[in-house]
């Protein structure tokens, strides 16, 4: 039986491997909370099977509600510009699964994805991991095989019980914390902060972004408990004069993320060669260096069309302010959301004088467009419904004049479908 399985596995192509990963393993990106497996037992079993690959390289661990993807990519870009071989593990992906696992901006090869998946199937382990647990281990093994100088590891969800939390990093980073995944992480900011702060390790320094005082109180208490040196301001930072540095990421939230990155780089510069020129180049070249997409990304001019993956209350607040500050005659909003988000808090923030194109991404978690329109009506948001994101976007572009502004967003999945 094992021999037959081996023959079958060897014949799997990349498409079949990806189908296996999606079909066999619960995927949070698609089904939501049902795929979340809190606890480290599964990933620890996988780690033992792989020979503890995460111990082969130093890493930085990044948690938070908003900004952790941008912070991770900026850190990777700086270390790449400094000449290091850098692993980058992020989630979710927008178009291609391999976006999650990169070395110096290059996605993991299809062959390496297949090789890992085949070896996992052949091993017939008793453990039944989630999609994210297996993906995490694929990344760690790949980074070890590639002999990276350092890896930037973004937390998937939460922190304390996240699959990535088996690592002992040289630096922990906690970005902005706000309400998201409240059913899984808690419905108060201190509860959510405690989960995020769970990535801190004894004696390992931690950088903390600007946050509400109730969040900082929790993080400081956890840092004291773990004897983790904490950095939460730029005052004594060797790179503090780079605040306001030119960056390819143009979202309003970039200023806050850049400040967090500069604090992290001050600590990393004690071990890695990093100077101001390197940082300047890295910020300008971040999109080219890491492949990051969907952050205040301009899709076209005349009419100006912008997409952004911001999808929770804090992220939408930034986006709306920037939309209103961007010169335009009429604002067209192509919006789709997932059903397990607190949609009301988001809808309450959206501009009432815009024209809306309510839609849904092609995933089971997507809130049907007619339900979204119905909820939006309670907040005086008016528009039409469209069964697909592409139809909604095309309708908006056709209705818009050259001096109008078209925005596409509401969830990662909506953005993914137009890129």
Does 86 reside within a domain? yes
Does residue 123 sit within a domain? no
Question: What's the confidence (pLDDT) of residue 10?
Answer: 55
Residue 383 contacts by C-beta under 8 Å, 6 or more apart in sequence?
Answer: 333, 355, 356, 357, 358, 373, 376
**Residue 17 in contact with residue 113, Cβ under 8 Å?**
yes
CATH number at residue 368: 3.90.190.20
At residue 365, the pLDDT reads 84
Same domain for 409 and 376, yes or no, is: yes
> Does residue 121 form part of some domain?
no
Percent of the chain residues topping a pLDDT of 70:
92
Joined tokens for residue 131: 């999609």
Q: In this predicted structure, what is the pLDDT of residue 5?
A: 40
Residues 285 and 305 in one domain: no
Q: Are residues 370 and 385 in contact, defined by beta-carbon separation less than 8 angstroms?
A: yes
Between CA 282 and CA 51 the distance in angstroms is 34
Last residue of a domain, one of 258, 290, 322: 290
Residue range(s) defining the domain that contains residue 362: 297-418
Same domain membership, residue 224 and residue 337? no
Contact predicate 103/148, CB 8 Å: yes
Residues 60 and 194 occupy one common structural domain: yes
Q: What is the pLDDT of residue 185?
A: 66
**Element containing residue 145 per DSSP (H, E):** helix 131-145
User: How many structural domains comprise the chain?
Assistant: 2
Domain contains 398? yes
Q: What is the mean pLDDT of residues 56-84?
A: 97
- If asked whether residues 302 and 207 sit together in one domain, one would say no
CA–CA distance from 36 to each of 157, 198, 269 (Å)? Answer: 9, 17, 36
pLDDT reported for residue 184:
59
Residue 1 has pLDDT above 50, yes or no: no
Range 389-393 contact pairs with CB under 8 angstroms and sequence separation of 24 or more? 389/334, 389/336, 389/359, 389/360, 389/361, 389/362, 389/414, 389/417, 389/418, 390/417, 390/418, 391/359, 392/334, 392/336, 392/357, 392/358, 392/359, 393/305, 393/334, 393/357, 393/418
> What is the residue whose two structure tokens read 């979340």?
36
Q: Which two tokens stand for residue 60?
A: 């930085």
Across 38-48, average pLDDT: 89
Q: What is the CATH number of the domain that holds 152?
A: 3.40.1190.10
313 and 189 in one domain? no
Same domain, 214 and 336: no
Co-location of 167 and 316 in the same domain: no
Task: Report yes or no: 393 and 338 within 8 Å, Cβ to Cβ.
Answer: no
**CA atoms of 323 and 149, how far apart (whole Å):** 40
Confidence band of 314 (pLDDT split at 50, 70, 90): confident
Q: Is residue 226 part of a domain?
A: yes
27 falls in which pLDDT band (50, 70, 90)? low
Residue with tokens 């969830």: 411
């Amino acid at each position: 039986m094992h021999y037959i399985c081996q023959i079958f596995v060897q014949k799997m192509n990349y498409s079949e491997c990806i189908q296996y990963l999606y079909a066999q393993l619960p995927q949070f990106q698609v089904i939501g909370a049902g795929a979340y497996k809190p606890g480290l037992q599964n990933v620890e079993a996988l780690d033992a099977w792989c020979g503890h690959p995460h111990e082969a390289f130093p890493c930085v661990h990044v948690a938070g509600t908003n900004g952790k993807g941008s912070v991770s990519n900026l850190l990777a870009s700086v270390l790449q510009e400094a000449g290091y071989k850098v692993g980058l593990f992020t989630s979710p992906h927008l178009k291609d699964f391999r976006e999650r696992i990169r070395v110096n901006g290059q996605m993991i090869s299809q062959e390496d994805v297949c090789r890992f998946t085949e070896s996992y199937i052949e091993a017939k382990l008793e453990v039944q991991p989630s999609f994210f647990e297996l993906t995490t281990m694929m990344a760690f093994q790949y980074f070890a095989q590639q002999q990276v100088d350092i890896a930037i590891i973004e937390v998937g969800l939460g922190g304390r019980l996240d699959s990535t939390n088996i690592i002992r990093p040289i630096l922990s980073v906690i970005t902005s914390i706000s309400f998201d995944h409240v059913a899984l992480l808690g419905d108060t900011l201190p509860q959510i902060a405690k989960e995020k702060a769970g990535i801190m390790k004894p004696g390992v320094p931690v950088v903390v972004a600007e946050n509400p005082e109730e969040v900082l109180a929790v993080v400081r208490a956890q840092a004291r408990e773990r004897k983790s040196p904490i950095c939460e301001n730029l005052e004594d930072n060797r790179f503090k004069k780079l605040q306001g540095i030119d960056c390819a990421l143009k979202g309003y939230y970039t200023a806050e993320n850049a400040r967090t990155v500069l604090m992290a780089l001050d600590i990393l510069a004690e071990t890695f060669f990093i100077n101001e020129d390197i940082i300047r180049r890295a910020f300008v070249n971040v999109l080219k260096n890491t492949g990051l997409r969907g952050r205040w990304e301009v899709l076209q001019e005349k009419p100006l069309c912008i997409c952004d993956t911001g999808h929770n209350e804090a992220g939408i607040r930034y986006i709306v302010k920037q939309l209103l500050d961007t010169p335009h005659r009429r604002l067209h909003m192509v919006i789709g959301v997932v059903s397990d988000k607190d949609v009301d808090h988001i809808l309450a923030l959206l501009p009432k004088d815009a024209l809306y194109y309510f839609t849904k991404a092609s995933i089971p978690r997507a809130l049907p467009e007619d339900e979204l329109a119905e909820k939006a009506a309670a907040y005086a948001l008016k528009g039409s419904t469209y069964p697909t994101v592409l139809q909604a976007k095309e309708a908006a572009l056709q209705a818009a004049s050259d001096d109008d502004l078209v925005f596409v967003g509401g969830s990662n999945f909506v953005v993914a479908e137009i890129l």
